[in-house]
Chains A and B, each alone.
Chain A
Amino acid sequence: MTLLIDLSLGLGTYPTVGDDLLQITRCDPGLSSFQPTEFVLQVTYTPKKAATAPSNLLLAIVDAPVNVLVVGVGSTYVLSNGTAISEKAGVIQPGDLVNPITIWYDITDAGGKHWLVEDANSQKVHLPRAVLVFHELAHAFHMIQGDYPATSPEREVQAIRHENEFRSVVELPLRHSSSHEGFTGIPDHGGLTFPTCTVESTPCPTAVAAEALGSPHAPDLDALRSVRRRYKDLSAWCTLASGPILDLYPKFSPAIVHDMRRDEELRCAIFTRVVQPLFGLREIVERFLDDQADDAGVVAMSDEVLDRYLAALDPAALTTLSEAAGAAADAGQRLASRSARAGDGLFDYIVDKILAADGDATGFAWGFAGLALFLRRAAERARDGGGVSEEFLLDFGDWLARPPIPPGADLSQADPRAELIILREHVFTRPHMRHAFARHLLGLWPSRAAPELRALLSELSYMGAGNRR
């Protein structure tokens, strides 16, 4: 049980929520998150900075035995009783058997009109977003503690006491101890600027935290999720291929995140050798599958992606890229053969975690093969400055054309003609990819039905003239 950030009820607002939580900890690098399901981010917190009252409250909620869900919303959000949040700024709903304690808070600062509250002298001061969500978290804290007062005024006095602790830390005007009234407009004093902290620059940014909590990498995560949404249900065969990956990932990833929280070196290695290359690979894949893109355009874009990746690496990491590429390729082969061989490298560690989760790892084997392609090309570019070549495009297309089909999967349950037409339109837009996929598919097809499939593949231009290999 823990603190969760909503991904589904809100509207892509999770980076803002993550940033507000980071502000409560004053940018403690010990704050992180991972995605256990497609609906939420789960917050983890191992304090690395000196504790403050607000950070301790947040830690208590993260470690609590109940779930607290935080949803960042626009001002026109309507609760189930018809009340618009536009007049409340923040609302907390207690949990029940099927719902967590839920905090809804306006992340738009009253639609740009600025939320105000009264200070000790009944002057109006700004209620910044991070302070607003902390106020609601204070309510949640006392719900969990079991000392949540029975009346609304008492609850507000209790939460305002905590709010003022946060206001003191960030040196904002303190709020009136018992006035819960809210307004919009320009404050009488104190201004509208919140003293934003910034994440300390390190050679290796907090990997998962940086990506999930509103850093510049959040758009990359969004893009990955978008790819998943677009392709996983594109056709029956796509669903078949993606199912084991989506099933297995939540079984092993929490263990890796747990270790990342405690080991900065591990976190840095995964970021530079897995996460960043994965983001780059995604970009190249999307451009490659775009049937409007010509080879020259894909080559130019791929070179840019590689250069961007290389520019972010420190010199030591650059020199070991070839070794990393080899290790990634080896990891793919180990996953494909489920070979539990002892090793102490990064990819040995990841393979062991995946195999220990005991599921179909063929999807991840395929993924590591793609990662190896990317890292190998990056190593070559770092070494001799050479650009992406036609050979790389062929290798890349071959890799994409061999998506992971679970062993024993019955592909003939879906209509092969319909599947092949969909895939030709959306995935295998290039002739050589269709040819490669045809070979791959025939290898998986029941031999007695192979002639029929072969005829269909020829009819739909998956086989025939133009095979470049």
Chain B
Amino acid sequence: MTDALEITAVRLSPLSSDEVTPDMRHGEIEWWRLEIAVCNRSRSERYCAISGIHRIHYDDDGTLAVALTAPAGERDYAPGYVCLDPGAEATITTRISSPITFVEEPPRAPRTARRVRLPDDVGAIRCVIAYDARPPTPAFPGRTVSASYVLPRAD
């Protein structure tokens, strides 16, 4: 069964200098824009998709997995969302600061940080978006749709 919501494109681009406000300029932080274009392929059903990043995971193969989801019990409040009428398209845009820092907590040892820099350390971005016919609630398993974006490399 094909997904009613389809991710048609994923794009990663750096923010321009005039988009980076003083509040965003700190230390080593750089800024990127992740755009996920979605399309409601249904002919009759309106769908609402989560528009905020909930989880991020970095695989050993260099894939950054970004989940715009709301698993039961993990959110206190309803996430942001965008609703699409049948046939409509929309672009979900989020800002990602780089390096992405993953806190690691080995047992009985101090916390450490693993840093992943865009774009050097990332080969592909895989996006998963939760959506359903109703606006999301704090627990919003819904259905999910996913797509991957391979970052271009200079030869």
Q: Which residues of A pack against B, CB within 8 Å?
A: 8-13, 16, 72-80, 82-84, 86-87, 97-99, 102, 104, 107-109, 111-113, 129, 152, 180-184
Contacts and interface: CB of A to CB of B under 8 A. Distances in A.
A79 B103 contact: yes
Contacts, number: 110
A12 B103 contact: no
Given A74-B97, A108-B97, A113-B95, A82 B55 contact: yes
Pairs of residues from A and B, 5 with the lowest C-beta to C-beta distance, nearest first:
A12-B27, A74-B97, A111-B95, A109-B23, A11-B27
A99 B75 CA distance: 25
Interface string B93-122: 011111111111100111111000000000
A196 to B, nearest CB: 12
B77 A108 contact: no
B26 A78 contact: no
A37 B52 CA distance: 38
A326 B102 CA distance: 51
B31 A9 contact: no
Given A74-B101, A182-B77, A112 B21 contact: yes
Contacts of A180: 76-77
Contacts of B57: 78, 82
Interface string B39-64: 00000000000001111110000000
Given A83-B55, A84-B56, A87-B79, A11 B24 contact: no
Contacts of B111: 9, 80, 99, 102
B101 A78 contact: yes
Given A9-B113, A87-B75, 16 more contacts: A11-B27, A16-B26, A74-B98, A75-B96, A76-B56, A78-B56, A78-B103, A80-B111, A82-B57, A84-B53, A87-B52, A87-B54, A97-B108, A98-B110, A111-B24, A181-B76
A152 to B, nearest CB: 6
Interface size class of B (residues with CB under 8 A): 35 or more
Nearest to B57: A82
Contacts of A80: 102-105, 111
Contacts of A152: 76
A77 B114 CA distance: 10
B28 interface: yes
A77 B26 CA distance: 14
Contacts of A98: 108-110
Contact of A11 (B19, B28, B94, B104): B28
B101 A76 contact: yes
Contacts of B112: 9
A108 B98 CA distance: 12
B3 interface: no
Contact of B97 (A16, A76, A104): A76
B150 interface: no
B148 to A, nearest CB: 18
A181 B77 contact: yes
Contacts of A74: 26, 29, 97-98, 101
A84 B76 CA distance: 14
B99 A11 contact: yes
A107 B55 contact: no
A86 B29 CA distance: 14
10 contacts: A8-B113, A12-B26, A12-B27, A74-B97, A74-B98, A76-B101, A77-B97, A86-B94, A104-B103, A182-B77
A379 to B, nearest CB: 37
A138 to B, nearest CB: 18
B116 to A, nearest CB: 9
Nearest to A75: B97
Contact of B23 (A76, A83, A108): A108
A87 B53 contact: yes
A247 B94 CA distance: 46
B20 interface: yes
B27 A112 contact: no
Contact of A9 (B80, B94, B103): B103
Residue picked from B19, B20, B113, most chain A C-beta under 10 Å:
B113
A407 B154 CA distance: 53
Contacts of B113: 8-9
Contacts of B75: 87
Residue picked from A78, A86, A109, A129, most chain B C-beta under 10 Å:
A78
B55 to A, nearest CB: 4
A108 B79 contact: no
Contacts of B21: 109, 112
Contacts of B53: 84, 86-87
Interface string B63-86: 000000000001111011000000
B103 A76 contact: no
A113 B57 CA distance: 23
A80 B107 CA distance: 12
B128 to A, nearest CB: 12
Interface in B1-47: 19-21, 23-24, 26-29, 31
Contact of A112 (B19, B28, B100, B102): B19
A98 B96 CA distance: 30
A13 B101 contact: no
A75 to B, nearest CB: 5
A9 B103 CA distance: 8
Contacts of A97: 108
Nearest to B104: A80
A448 B31 CA distance: 60
A102 B110 CA distance: 11
Given A11-B99, A83-B74, A152-B76, A108 B29 contact: yes
